[in-house]
Amino acid sequence: MGGLARRVSYLKAFKHRSNMEVPTLFVDAGNIFSDERFTAGQIPTDVMSKNKWVVKAYGDFHHDAANVNSADLPYLGELFKKEDFDKRVEEFPFINKLVSANVRPIDDAHLAPVPYVIREITLKRGVPGHKIRIGIVGFTESMPIGPNPDNRETVRGAYRIDDPFEAAKRVLPELKSKTDFIIALAYMPIDMSQRLATENPEIDTIIGARQINNTEDVQSVNRATIAYAYNQTKHLGELRVYVKADGSIENQVNRFVALDSDIPDDPAAVEVVTTAHNDFTNEQNKRSQETSSLIQSTSLLGAAESPFAGVETCAVCHQSEFEIWERTGHAHAMATLERKKQQFDTECVRCHVVGFGKGGFQSLTSTPQLANVQCESCHGPGRAHSESPAKGYGLMVTPIGCVACHTPVNSPDFNFVTYWPKVRHGAGEAAPE
Ligand code: HEC
Ligand code: HEC
Ligand code: HEC
Ligand code: HEC
């Protein structure tokens, strides 16, 4: 739900500025739920709670439709269970605005999302009173596995992902007969969106997501205008559609609105986001306590057996490196998450600690000594070295080792040449490769 409060505030301000005269649609091209830890067919309770808040917040704050992608499917299976479906829709009406023309259930216990929704808007400018029926349809690619693009996972959770191009041929003529304007939400790389536009003249606009995209320029392919979402929730894509006096489309202009501190948080949305955070932090607390008691009882990997020693141990012999490190942001990376109340969110934790998922940090309850980005986050597990120190341990390949965490998404300004001096220590120069 990153950026929700600012997105909502921007939208409200926009409606206000335009005297409520410009109809707005608020859509999401997909990948809205969290499935990072979908293993053994089960979504952990904290992730369930997070996803539940996403459906609720999207409904509460006027989203008109959201597409789903392969990562959304595990949670989709929870929302679209036939059992108690009506009750769930009553609680979360947004369920009926989740669209996909090419995912379908593989069993009888689940329902399919609708392929499209139709919204009617009335123009106040241009041609006052003119009504336009807008169809919003969703398409997604199957999930690529590994570098070979032909290697794809088509079944995930309770759903199968059909070929989006065949689905388009099936659904679009029908939708065209019911609407004046068609928006396709497409979770797929740009070349696939272009093909979608080339093969389907019914489409007026494609709003895509999936590829890192930093350009506001739209593309025109066949009849469609293609705009891609910025690669993160820190920006809102705003596509303005200008209508001529005869009701036809004049042009479509895209821009990205940076959701930075210039845009205030919407108080109502903040309240929801805060409640949601508290809710899933509680779940995560519960879960991390359960896991740590499990670890204690089965002594899977107690701290003493971890291959990671922790910075206190390194400091005994490497005092000067320690003193430099202590003054860097790396030493406070967990405090940063605590300020955000996300210290139990493993999606965040993995880059803000030592050796997550590799026998290092597990949780603040069971392995507090491995919180923060410490020596061993870069130099690798150092217990053996601490016990019998010698040369040859811990040489780090830069900048490759840095960008494991300093990804374009989480550290957009990363540049080894400017970053290394801020954390430099040791005698040697770490030359960029
Ligand atoms: C008991 C003392 C001791 C502890 C504890 C210790 N080191 Fe060392 N470390 C040394 C010594 C001594 C050397 C230098 C060996 C040499 O130059 O011959 C060294 C070398 C290194 C090197 C350079 C290796 C090389 O080939 O030049 C790195 C990196 C390093 N230590 C990191 C760590 C980290 C990280 C920890 C904590 C996990 C740690 N050390 C814990 C004593 C220690
Ligand atoms: C295990 C993940 C991880 C690795 C590996 C990593 N970083 Fe970081 N880095 C972080 C995180 C997380 C922060 C943010 C810390 C905070 O402020 O909470 C950060 C912050 C920084 C900062 C800004 C904080 C400051 O002290 O000014 C610099 C500079 C930096 N890293 C440089 C590097 C360089 C250079 C490398 C490679 C040699 C590197 N990092 C490797 C996770 C990592
Ligand atoms: C892929 C690794 C990675 C993940 C995952 C990650 N972070 Fe970070 N985070 C970083 C790095 C690297 C920095 C330092 C960025 C810089 O200074 O360039 C950072 C910096 C930060 C900062 C301080 C800088 C800022 O943008 O204000 C906050 C707050 C933060 N992260 C919170 C989070 C939260 C919350 C999550 C989970 C939703 C998360 N991080 C997930 C790597 C990560
Ligand atoms: C952000 C990643 C990062 C962190 C955190 C980090 N180091 Fe390093 N360290 C490096 C890099 C890069 C070098 C340069 C030499 C190299 O390329 O390995 C280096 C060099 C060293 C050296 C000197 C090796 C030599 O041959 O000169 C020692 C000793 C060392 N680090 C110990 C530590 C200790 C102890 C800590 C924790 C207090 C620590 N480092 C934290 C990345 C890191």
Q: What is the DSSP letter of 404?
A: T
* Burial of 422 (C-beta count, 10 Å sphere; 0-12/13-18/19+): exposed
- Pairing type for strands 249-258 and 116-122 reads unpaired
Q: Is the pLDDT of residue 285 over 60?
A: yes
Measured torsion, CA atoms of residues 252, 253, 254, 259, in degrees rounded to the nearest 10 = -120
Using 50, 70 and 90 to split pLDDT, how confident is the model at 395? confident
Is the C-beta atom of 397 inside 6 A of ligand 4? Answer: no
pLDDT of residue 63: 85
pLDDT of residue 94: 94
3-state secondary structure of 244: coil
pLDDT of residue 405: 93
Is the C-beta atom of 225 inside 6 A of ligand 3? Answer: no
105 Cα–ligand 1 center, Å: 55
Q: List, for residues 83-116, the tens digit of each pLDDT value.
A: 999 999 999 999 999 999 999 999 999 999 999 9
Domain boundaries, the chain: 4-258, 301-423
pLDDT of residue 294: 43
* Burial of 187 (C-beta count, 10 Å sphere; 0-12/13-18/19+): buried
Q: Which candidate, 201, 192, 282, 268, places its Cα nearest to that of 228?
A: 192
Q: What is the DSSP letter of 213?
A: -
| Separation CA 176–CA 87 (nearest Å) | 32
pLDDT of residue 293: 46
| Separation CA 333–CA 342 (nearest Å) | 11
pLDDT of residue 124: 79
Q: Yes or no: say if 387 and 355 are a contact pair by the CB < 8 Å rule.
A: no
Q: Is the pLDDT of residue 30 over 80?
A: yes
Least confident of 74-78, 295-299, 421-425: 295-299
User: Whose CA is closest to atom 14 on ligand 4?
Assistant: 430
**Radius of gyration, alpha carbons of the chain:** 25
pLDDT of residue 289: 64
Q: List, for residues 365-383, the tens digit of each pLDDT value.
A: 889 899 999 999 999 999 9
Cβ-based neighbours of 165, under 8 Å, separated by 6 or more: 195, 196, 199
Q: Angle at CA 31, nearest 5°, toward 27 and 32?
A: 65
Q: List, for residues 165-179, the tens digit of each pLDDT value.
A: 999 999 999 999 999
Is the C-beta atom of 22 inside 6 A of ligand 3? Answer: no
Mutate to test the pocket of ligand 4, among 372, 425, 429, 433 (most ligand atoms within 8 A of CB): 425
pLDDT of residue 37: 47
144 Cα–ligand 1 center, Å: 41
Helix crossing, 267-298 with 4-17: angle to 10°?
170
User: Whose CA is closest to atom 30 on ligand 2?
Assistant: 419
Among the bound ligands, the one closest to the CA of 329: 2
398 Cα–ligand 3 center, Å: 19
Q: Is the pLDDT of residue 267 over 70?
A: yes
Q: pTM of the prediction?
A: 0.57
394 Cα–ligand 4 center, Å: 8
**Can you tell me the mean pLDDT for 214-218?**
69
């997070």: which residue's tokens? 50
Least confident of 129-143, 243-257, 383-397: 243-257
Q: Yes or no: say if 190 and 229 are a contact pair by the CB < 8 Å rule.
A: no
29 Cα–ligand 3 center, Å: 24
Architecture of domain 4-258: 4-Layer Sandwich (3.60)
Q: Is the pLDDT of residue 297 over 50?
A: no
Q: Is the pLDDT of residue 215 over 70?
A: no
Percent of the chain past pLDDT 90, that is, above it, reads: 42
Architecture of domain 301-423: Orthogonal Bundle (1.10)
